[in-house]
Amino acid sequence: MITGTDRNLGKRRRKGQVSHAIFLAATMVGIVALSFLLGDVARKGIGWLDWQFLTSLPSRFPERSGISSALWGSIWLIGLTALFSLTIGVGTAIYLEEYARRGWLTRAIQTNISNLAGVPSIVYGILGLAAFVRAMSLGRSVMAGALTMTLLILPIIIVASQEAIRAVPRPLRDASFALGATRWQTVRRVVLPAAAPGILTGIILALARALGEAAPLIMIGALMFVPFVPTSPLDQFSVLPIQIFNWTARPQPEFRLIAAAAIIVLLVVLLMMNAAAVLLRNKYQKRAEE
Amino acid sequence: MSETYTVLETRGLSLWYSGFQALRDISLGIKSNQITAIIGPSGCGKSSYLRCFNRMNELITGARVGGKVLFHDEDVYSPEVDPTEIRYRIGMVFQKPNPFPKTVYENVAFGPRINGYDGDLDELVEGSLHRAALWDDVKDRLGESSAKLSGGQQQRLCIARALAVEPEVILMDEPCSALDPIATLAIEELMHELSQDYTIIIVTHNMQQAARVSDMAAFLMMGEDRAGFLVEYGPTEQLFTNPRDKRTEDYITGRFG
């Protein structure tokens, strides 16, 4: 007999349905808020988004304003930050995972790196102002900004790279060592290729974060109004989030509309970076499996 | 077969992992061009012992070796010796097939490349695959991923990879434990052929396999403190038919382990 045993089934089923509804509602809060936000930005900004907007310098007049200086500033900043954080971050991760002796010093460094990931970005801005702008006299340059951003995202990149390196199966390293490979040969030819997808994903996601940061750059003195496109690492600069912040603070309502257009540009760049992360990861994964 | 001599020897070899003693005072000599089997119950330190010969244990944090390992009468652990040199001359095949996630060709070419081989690489790869009895299976698939091979083929690829650096000794750590009986048989036949040119030391928990393939056999056991020690070492036939030690007899007749 299948039916008839009363195991409180009705009540249990109701509980299941209620929890289902609660979790669905929780998910919907995020989705609704986000789509409202995106919808609002798109509605206001899309009309201002044209080639003129992308290629023009900022101006006192909203209809003549463009984001070319902020866009190029962001590209310069992210390019330099990628260069610095990749070399230093992956280098540190390799050292900590492959070379460092397991001892109290290594553990202390490790704990510090994890903690640094939680330090507010404005603090990195203060550090960047003292160290790069003043002490190294780089001024309010893209270089100083990129070095500050590098410090900001290094902990994320190091931890992500370490995890990717640690996930490389031990038997693969053993196979390499057993053939007479040195540690560097093993790292270079076995560990890094296998860890590359994870490392790349970590780097791109960290850079995406750097792209959206305004606070530390305002701290080091990135400019609000930059009527030129940076042409060298020592030029002054602005970036998209600062430009957006600047425009939203203006009294004329049109500036809020072009701020929305700039937000769309920023979002598109972010989406492109995330897509690149996924593509690169898939490509390397496929190559590893071939 | 040419005159055999002692290629490898351990003298009073002990091994510790961060304070825990894994091996105690093992002394035995390995003869050239023979297959030496190391047998014993699980956890007795067979694999750890094998990894002492090519200094693979030192890749594990906290591992420490006492006593001596002699390779052509030279101490493998003396400070002047570079471990990569030892591993280059003493090859190793692992328990689970562990080909690199690269092509068949690149797997075999890996060792020669990192060791700066400057001869004809294609020829060396083909020769190594021939000696590992894998050439006919893969000659049209050299550019394919090693992951596409069967388990038995992967293990033979790992053997070919080890052979490509032209070692004198090949250490095999339970090379058939992840393989089916047919693939196992193929590897065992291969070992017989290889013993013409190489000295082979094989760790196995499979008694029949040890009896089938080896010339010499060493029986290890775990002591009260879990440290492995040598019970008996001798010609395989004698060890299996007429063991000197009661514990060896108990083990091979299946009374424990």
The answer to whether the CB of A68 falls within 8 A of the CB of A52 is no
pLDDT score at A102: 81
Say if residue A23 is in the same domain as residue A75. Answer: no
- The secondary structure of residue B16, as a DSSP letter, is E
pLDDT score at A2: 67
Q: Which two tokens stand for residue B141?
A: 């698939």
Chain B CA closest to residue A195: B101
The answer to whether the CB of A225 falls within 8 A of the CB of A249 is no
Q: Within the 135-174 window of chain B, which residues sit less than 8 Å (CB to CB) from chain A?
A: 144-145, 147, 158, 161-162, 165
Query: Could you give the CA distance from residue A57 to residue B38 in angstroms, rounded to a whole number?
Result: 77
Residues of B in contact with A285 (CB under 8 A): none
Residues of B in contact with A179 (CB under 8 A): 87-88, 91, 110-111, 114-115, 161-162, 165
CB contact B77 to A (< 8 Å): no
Q: Which two tokens stand for residue A29?
A: 């809060």
The answer to whether the CB of A277 falls within 8 A of the CB of A204 is yes
Say if residue A28 is in the same domain as residue A163. Answer: no
CA A4 vs CA A1, A8, A9, A13, A15: distances in Å: 8, 11, 10, 16, 20
pLDDT at A46 exceeding the cut of 90: no
Q: Could you write out the three-class secondary structure of A156-180?
A: HHHHHHHHHHHCCCHHHHHHHHHCC
Residues of A in contact with B144 (CB under 8 A): 290
Count CA atoms closer than 13 A to A128's CA, side-chain side: 27
Cβ neighbours of residue B156 closer than 8 Å, sequence gap 6 or more: B132, B133, B134, B137, B186, B187, B190
Cβ neighbour number for residue A276 with a 10 Å cutoff: 14
Last residue of one domain, picked from the residues A8, A32, A48: A48
**What CATH number is attached to the domain comprising B73?**
3.40.50.300
Residues in chain B: 257
| Per-residue buried b or exposed e for A44-75, using 16+ beta carbons within 10 Å of the residue's own CB | bbeebbeeebeebbbeeebeebbbbbbbbbbb
| β-strand partners of B31 | B6
pLDDT at A227 exceeding the cut of 50: yes
In a domain, A10, yes or no: no
pLDDT score at A149: 93
- Tokens 């919808």 belong to A39
In a domain, A230, yes or no: yes
Q: Which of B99, B111, B144 sits opposite A179 (nearest CB)?
A: B111
Q: Low-confidence residues of chain B, pLDDT below 50?
A: 1
Query: Could you give the CA distance from residue A85 to residue B52 in angstroms, rounded to a whole number?
Result: 40
pLDDT score at B221: 93
Say if residue A77 is in the same domain as residue A192. Answer: yes
In a domain, A90, yes or no: yes
Say if residue A26 is in the same domain as residue A79. Answer: no
Pairing of strands B74-75, B228-235: unpaired
CA A247 vs CA A61, A149, A237: distances in Å: 11, 23, 16
Query: Could you give the CA distance from residue B1 to residue A16 in angstroms, rounded to a whole number?
Result: 76
| % of chain B residues with pLDDT over 90 | 81
| % of chain A residues with pLDDT over 90 | 46
Residues of A in contact with B59 (CB under 8 A): 173-174, 177
Say if residue A114 is in the same domain as residue A217. Answer: yes
Tell me if A175 and B98 make a contact (CB, 8 A cut-off): yes
What is the separation of C-alpha A84 from the centre of its chain, rounded to a whole number of angstroms? 14
Minimal Cα–Cα distance from A174 to chain B, Å?
Answer: 8
Residue B214 is part of which domain span? 6-252
Query: Could you give the CA distance from residue A59 to residue A44 in angstroms, rounded to a whole number?
Result: 19
Say if residue A226 is in the same domain as residue A256. Answer: yes
- Tokens 């108990």 belong to B250
Q: Which two tokens stand for residue B44?
A: 């007795």
H or E segment and range at residue A243: helix A240-248
The number of domains in chain A is 2
In a domain, B257, yes or no: no
CB contact B19 to A (< 8 Å): no
pLDDT at A63 exceeding the cut of 80: no
CB contact A274 to B (< 8 Å): no
Say if residue A106 is in the same domain as residue A31. Answer: no
pLDDT at A246 exceeding the cut of 90: no
Q: Which is higher by pLDDT, A140 or B113?
A: B113
Chain B CA closest to residue A289: B101
Query: Could you give the CA distance from residue A69 to residue A282 in angstroms, rounded to a whole number?
Result: 33
pLDDT score at A30: 93
Q: Which of B96, B99, B161 sits opposite A179 (nearest CB)?
A: B161
Chain B CA closest to residue A182: B84
Residues of B in contact with A176 (CB under 8 A): 100, 110, 114
CB contact B98 to A (< 8 Å): yes
**What CATH number is attached to the domain comprising A81?**
1.10.3720.10
Residue type, B170: I
Query: Could you give the CA distance from residue B248 to residue B61 in angstroms, rounded to a whole number?
Result: 33
CB contact A107 to B (< 8 Å): no
CB contact B58 to A (< 8 Å): no
Residues in chain A: 290
pLDDT score at A56: 79
Say if residue A59 is in the same domain as residue A38. Answer: no
Residue A270 is part of which domain span? 52-289
Query: Could you give the CA distance from residue B163 to residue B169 in angstroms, rounded to a whole number?
Result: 10
Sign of CA dihedral A263, A266, A267, A268: positive
**Angle in degrees, 0-180, between the axes of helices A192-212 and A253-289, rounded to the nearest 10:** 180
What is the separation of C-alpha B184 from the centre of its chain, rounded to a whole number of angstroms? 15
pLDDT score at B1: 45
> Best interface-test mutation with B: which of A98, A179, A184, A187 has the largest number of B CBs within 10 A?
A179
Average pLDDT, chain A: 88
pLDDT score at A61: 77
Residues of B in contact with A180 (CB under 8 A): 84-85, 87-88, 111, 114-115, 165
What is the separation of C-alpha B100 from the centre of its chain, rounded to a whole number of angstroms? 19
pLDDT score at B257: 52
CA B33 vs CA A163, A167, B70, B189, B192: distances in Å: 44, 39, 17, 15, 10
pLDDT score at A288: 57
Say if residue A141 is in the same domain as residue A28. Answer: no
Helices (H), B55-206: 83-89, 104-114, 121-131, 135-138, 151-163, 181-194
Residue-wise pLDDT for A262-290, tens only, equals 999 999 999 988 888 888 878 877 665 54
The answer to whether the CB of B162 falls within 8 A of the CB of A178 is yes
Say if residue A280 is in the same domain as residue A248. Answer: yes
Q: Which two tokens stand for residue A33?
A: 């808020």
Average pLDDT of A19-30?
95
Tell me if A175 and B165 make a contact (CB, 8 A cut-off): no
H or E segment and range at residue A18: helix A9-45
- Tokens 């040119």 belong to B197
Residues of B in contact with A193 (CB under 8 A): 101
Minimal Cα–Cα distance from A164 to chain B, Å?
Answer: 16
In a domain, A198, yes or no: yes
Nearest to B42 by CA among B257, B232, B210: B257
pLDDT at A185 exceeding the cut of 60: yes
Pairing of strands B199-203, B169-173: parallel
pLDDT score at A113: 92
Residue-wise pLDDT for A79-122, tens only, equals 999 999 999 999 999 999 999 888 889 999 999 998 988 889 99
Say if residue A141 is in the same domain as residue A34. Answer: no
In a domain, A8, yes or no: no
Residues of B in contact with A190 (CB under 8 A): 100
In a domain, A13, yes or no: no
The number of domains in chain B is 1
pLDDT score at A4: 65
Average pLDDT of A187-197?
93
pLDDT at A224 exceeding the cut of 70: no
Tell me if A181 and B147 make a contact (CB, 8 A cut-off): no
Q: What is the ipTM of this complex?
A: 0.92
In a domain, B1, yes or no: no
Say if residue A26 is in the same domain as residue A71. Answer: no
pLDDT score at A10: 86
Q: Which is higher by pLDDT, A177 or A278?
A: A177
Instruction: Specify which of A67-71, A210-214, B50-54 reaches the highest per-range mean pLDDT.
Output: B50-54
Give CA angle at B158 (B155, B162), nearest 5°: 145
Q: Which of A169, A174, A181 sits opposite B56 (nearest CB)?
A: A174
